[in-house]
Amino acid sequence: MPMIIIVKDYTRIESGYLAKVPISQQDKTEDKQHLAEMIDLFGPFLKPLLDKGKPDIVQSMFYGEGKFKDAPLIDRPGLMSEAFTPGLDKEVRERFVSFLLALMKTSPEERPMPEDLLRHP
């Protein structure tokens, strides 16, 4: 989840995640790559999330309305591709990707509660 890398204060919903504090340049590079992969798969981070972020991290990795600085180019197919969901027929793939997108919303407030995810189509 992006909150682990970006956000300085966790809400009750977010506190179940273990935070990794970057202690070396390699960790910071790995965090940047991880954020780039999340953005590539699940879309950009919303401004309210970035506004809650650690200013040094947000300023070093984002500009403008949440655009990612020096975003590494990720050349791969999207979640709806056979590469990510091999062997699934189109209908099952669409439902599975819809579930993943709901589960991985970058804003904790927009994520469904676990019981709602159990009822997800």
Residue 38 to residue 87: CA distance in whole angstroms: 23
Q: Is the pTM of this model over 0.75?
A: no
Classify 53 as helix, strand or coil: strand
Half-sphere exposure of 24 (CA within 13 A, CB side): 3
**Percentage of residues of the chain with pLDDT beyond 70:** 74
The pLDDT confidence band at residue 95, using thresholds 50, 70 and 90, is very high
**Percentage of residues of the chain with pLDDT beyond 90:** 12
The one-letter code for the residue type at 55 is: P
Nearest to 32 by CA among 79, 91, 72: 72
Q: Does the structure show a pLDDT above 70 at 24? A: no
pLDDT digits (tens, 9 = 90+) for 25-65: 555 667 778 888 888 888 788 888 888 888 888 888 888 77
The pLDDT confidence band at residue 88, using thresholds 50, 70 and 90, is very high
Q: Does the structure show a pLDDT above 90 at 90? A: yes
Residue 97 to residue 83: CA distance in whole angstroms: 13
State the residue range of the domain holding 74: 2-118
The one-letter code for the residue type at 68 is: F
Which CATH number does the domain housing residue 111 bear? 1.10.510.10
Number of domains in the chain: 1
